[in-house]
């Protein structure tokens, strides 16, 4: 159950920045703009109840107009309901109240996006978000961007799937999603990115698209994939992504409720 009370922002309205023709300059400006918004914008009253840590963040991203990239580890503590109440607090103070409910988590503005991540819990060499993609050129919507990016990342992270046994009939293979629930046609985005990390590319997608939150759910287990990366899980179900389909992420609309299902038993 989600209960929210949100009373006016005492400042001018922030428009989510778009990626311009000069990405580096644009992203630097977006980072400064976002940091200023978080530090100088006060909210008269903010009361919320959310069913999980990640849901509280996603809701706040929409209500406080903050594009966000969330890395979280699927623990029982992070799945617990939380409640918080703030009056006359800055956007940063509200977000800190949420993040402080989970030991070790930190906030950082980078690439024009607020990153929430579990401190040093996942070393960079084990985090697929730090993989460098030499070039990423795309035009379309967030679903299409995810579909184009995924095989570039899987090439480094996933374990190749064994060839199927011959059968008398072959059936088409399904694909994986990753962008949440579609509410209608989205304005197209255009990206031309070189020598950037997966994290930077996801940031540029949320800056340019109408979806303003990306989420990666890491497994609580520290057991790595055969290629040496921390395993990811499906966001809503908490089920493991198979090694041949690693990694998984989702790009969501801001203000999205995230009704987590109970994790499967051992």
The answer on 128 and 229 residing in a single domain is: yes
The answer on 142 and 82 residing in a single domain is: no
The answer on 246 and 190 residing in a single domain is: yes
Q: If 0-12 CB within 10 Å is exposed, 13-18 middle and 19+ buried, where does residue 263 land? A: middle
Q: Tell whether 167 is covered by a domain.
A: no
The answer on 147 and 43 residing in a single domain is: no
Rg (CA), the chain: 19
The pLDDT assigned to 8 comes to: 52
Q: Tell whether 189 is covered by a domain.
A: yes
The pLDDT assigned to 17 comes to: 38
Count of domains in the chain? 2
Q: Tell whether 102 is covered by a domain.
A: yes
The answer on 99 and 78 residing in a single domain is: yes
pLDDT in tens, the chain (266 residues): 334 445 555 433 333 433 333 445 577 889 999 999 999 999 999 998 899 999 999 999 999 999 999 999 999 999 999 998 999 999 999 999 999 999 999 999 999 999 999 999 999 999 999 999 999 999 999 999 999 999 999 999 998 876 665 443 332 222 233 444 455 678 999 999 999 999 999 999 999 999 999 999 999 999 999 999 999 999 988 898 999 999 999 999 988 889 898 877 66
Q: Tell whether 29 is covered by a domain.
A: yes
For residue 194, report the phi and psi dihedrals to the nearest 5 degrees. -125, 145
Would you list the DSSP string of 50-83? ESSHHHHHHHHHHHTT--EEEEEE--HHHHS-EE
Q: What is the CATH number of the domain that holds 58?
A: 3.55.50
The answer on 224 and 191 residing in a single domain is: yes
Q: Which domain holds residue 181?
A: 124-160+177-252
Q: Tell whether 168 is covered by a domain.
A: no
Q: Tell whether 145 is covered by a domain.
A: yes
The answer on 136 and 110 residing in a single domain is: no
The answer on 142 and 213 residing in a single domain is: yes
Q: Tell whether 22 is covered by a domain.
A: yes
The answer on 185 and 106 residing in a single domain is: no
Site of tokens 């949320």: 206
Cα–Cα distance for residue pair 67/212, rounded to 1 Å:
5
For residue 229, report the phi and psi dihedrals to the nearest 5 degrees. -115, 150
The answer on 111 and 13 residing in a single domain is: yes
The answer on 131 and 99 residing in a single domain is: no
The answer on 203 and 244 residing in a single domain is: yes
Q: Tell whether 218 is covered by a domain.
A: yes
The pLDDT assigned to 186 comes to: 87
């Amino acid at each position: 159950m989600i209960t929210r009370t949100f009373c006016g922002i005492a400042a001018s309205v922030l428009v989510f920045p778009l990626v311009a023709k000069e990405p580096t300059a644009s992203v630097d400006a977006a980072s400064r703009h976002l940091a200023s918004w978080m530090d100088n914008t006060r909210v008269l009253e903010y009361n919320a109840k959310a069913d999980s840590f990640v849901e509280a963040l996603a809701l706040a991203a929409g209500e406080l107009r903050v594009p966000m990239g969330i890395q979280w580890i699927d623990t029982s503590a992070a799945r617990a309901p939380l409640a918080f109440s703030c009056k006359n607090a800055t956007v940063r103070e509200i977000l800190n109240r949420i993040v402080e409910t989970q030991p070790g988590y930190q906030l950082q503005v980078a690439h024009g996006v607020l990153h929430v991540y579990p401190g040093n819990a996942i070393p960079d060499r084990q985090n697929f978000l730090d993989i460098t993609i030499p070039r990423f050129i795309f035009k379309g919507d967030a679903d299409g961007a995810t579909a184009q990016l995924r095989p570039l990342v899987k090439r480094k992270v996933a374990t190749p799937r064994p060839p199927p046994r011959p059968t008398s009939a072959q059936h088409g293979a399904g694909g994986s999603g990753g962008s949440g629930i579609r509410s209608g046609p989205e304005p197209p985005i255009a990206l031309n990115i070189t020598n950037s990390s997966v994290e930077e590319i996801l940031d540029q997608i949320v800056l340019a698209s109408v979806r303003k939150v990306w989420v990666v759910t890491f497994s609580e287990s520290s057991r790595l994939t055969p290629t040496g990366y921390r395993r990811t899980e499906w966001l809503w179900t908490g089920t493991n992504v198979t090694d041949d389909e690693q990694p998984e992420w989702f790009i969501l609309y801001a203000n999205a409720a995230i009704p987590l299902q109970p994790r499967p038993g051992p």
